[in-house]
Structures are given as C-alpha cells and as structure tokens.
Amino acid sequence: MTGPRMTDPLPIVRADNATLAHGSRVVLAEASFTLVPGEIVGLLGPNGAGKSTLFRALLGLIAPRAGSITTLGRPARTGRPGISYLPQQEPNGQFLSAWDVVAAAHAGNRPGLPWRNRAARAAIDAALAETGAAGFAQRPFASLSGGERQRVLLAQALAGQPRLLLLDEPLTSLDPAAQAETVGLLSAIRARLGCTILVSSHEISPLLPVMDRVLYLARGQAALGPVDRVITGPVLSGLYGAPVEVLRAGGRIFVLPGEAPAALHQAV
C-alpha cells in the first residue's frame, strides 16, 4: 500500500465542525476531519449513517447546517473542476458503446449534439486506457461484465482529470475476483495520477490492501484514522453508543453488534 503523497500544501477536503441535516434530522453533527492529497480513504458505516449525504455536501449539492466543508481549498460548490463522482446507479447504456458512455461524461452538460475535437477524443481514449477498458471500448455497454462495466465507469470519472475521486459503492454486485480487480485498479489510479480517492463500501475487507485510512460514520458521529485505530471495539462502541465487537480472521474484518459468542471466537 502506497501512503499519501504530501505534494499539495492544502488538504483536498476539510470539514470544520460541519453539521449536515435532512430537514430536522441531523445526519452528521459537528464533524471535523481532513483528507490529504493522494490517499485512499474508505467511507464506512451502516445504512442511513450519512455516507451519501456527505458525498452530496462535497459536491456542493447541500450546504452544511453549521460549520464548513471545503474542497480543493475552497468552499464546496457544484460543478467544481477537479472533482469526479461515480454514483452507485449505472447510466442507461443499453444502446451506447463503452466509448460513448465515457464520451457522454466528457461532454458534460453542453446542449446540442456533442462535437469532439482531436484533443477530446484523445482524452477519452486515455481515460479508457488508464482503466484497462480500451480493448472493449466499442462493445455495447450493456453487454459487458460487472467488472468491465466498472472499468468503463471509472474511465468516465477519470475523463475530467480529477484531484478528488468520489466513489459510491463501486464494489456492489461484483464477485470477489472483480472486486479484487477494481481495488487493484484504484491503487494503480492513485499511484499514476496522485488523486485522492474517497470510496464508500458496505464491507471493509476488499479495501484493506489499498486503504490508507478509514472514515467511519455512525449515529451522527465521525471517526477518521488508520484501520487498526478506528475499526476497534472501543471506538465503534463509542460511535454506536452500544457494545460492538470486531473480529479479524483470514485477512477479513467482521463488525458485530454486542458481544460475539465464544464459539465464534474459537472459529476465527
């Protein structure tokens, strides 16, 4: 695992006592953390903990109720160059080639039929090559395997040459082999481009080989740090406000509510 590259004097993301809310419900309360250039951070937590809300705040789609969030050294806002977001929901690419899916993102929101000059086409080809998708760029997107689709979608995100890459559950619905390929690709992207990657996931284990730190959200609270310091029984029990036990076995981490049975301890 390659550690963060400290080549940029400013944090890529800074939250200062940021409170995020949906209506009257506070999702994240007075959270403070920074993400530095060139690190891969896993965004973890139970459903409803605020992972998607945090992504929306980083994209400038919602404003903090209190405190502040800055991206690339300035207050978060929509349409900021240098930030790419890969949502969990795939685009409707039934009638598009993989190349066209990437090209659609590169065109942005410009009206009318897109006209792509040589530089634009070169940027699209480079993004597909970066993710190993050039070999099937002309195939229909709908015909691709889960792992191949993920490569195309990552190329779509890379077309904007991001400094901050936000990935919402990119490992969902992938088999273990495809998960491992995607995780390895994230490591290669970070190594070559030096961008910061914030990736949400329901499971921490596939990300362990490449993750520098983990940002864990629960019950409106946030904890950021190395995996061995954050994914522990005491820290997670404090976040959840209830007993939580963490078991490690075979390179995997299991987070369990309450105290694990003795038989399970013996099994692992």
Between the alpha carbon of residue 18 and those of residues 128, 186, 206, 250, the distances in Å are 36, 28, 29, 37
- pTM for this predicted structure: 0.85
Residue 14, H or E segment? strand 13-22
Rounded mean pLDDT of the chain?
85
Residue with tokens 């406000």: 241
First to last CA, the chain: 25
Query: What confidence tens digit (pLDDT) does each residue in 3-49 have?
Result: 444 444 589 999 999 999 988 889 999 999 999 999 999 999 888 88
* Residue 265 in this model has a pLDDT that exceeds 80: no
pLDDT in tens, 39-60: 999 999 888 888 999 999 999 9
Specify the pLDDT at position 257.
Answer: 81
**Rounded (to 5) percent helix, strand, coil in the chain:** 35, 25, 40
pLDDT tens-digit series, residues 71-111: 999 999 998 889 999 888 776 656 789 998 888 876 554 43
Distance CA 225, CA 25 (A): 26
What does the pLDDT read at residue 204? 85
CA distance 58 to 15: 10
Q: Which H or E element spans position 192?
A: helix 176-193
- Rg for the chain (alpha carbons), in Å? 19
Of residues 2 and 240, more confidently modeled: 240
Report d(CA 26, CA 254) in Å as an integer: 28
Which CATH number does 1-82+162-231 carry? 3.40.50.300
**Which part of the chain is CATH 3.40.50.300?**
1-82+162-231
Mean pLDDT of 163-190: 92
Q: Which residues contact 264 (CB under 8 A, 6 or more apart)?
A: 247, 256
Partners of 21 in beta bridges: 26
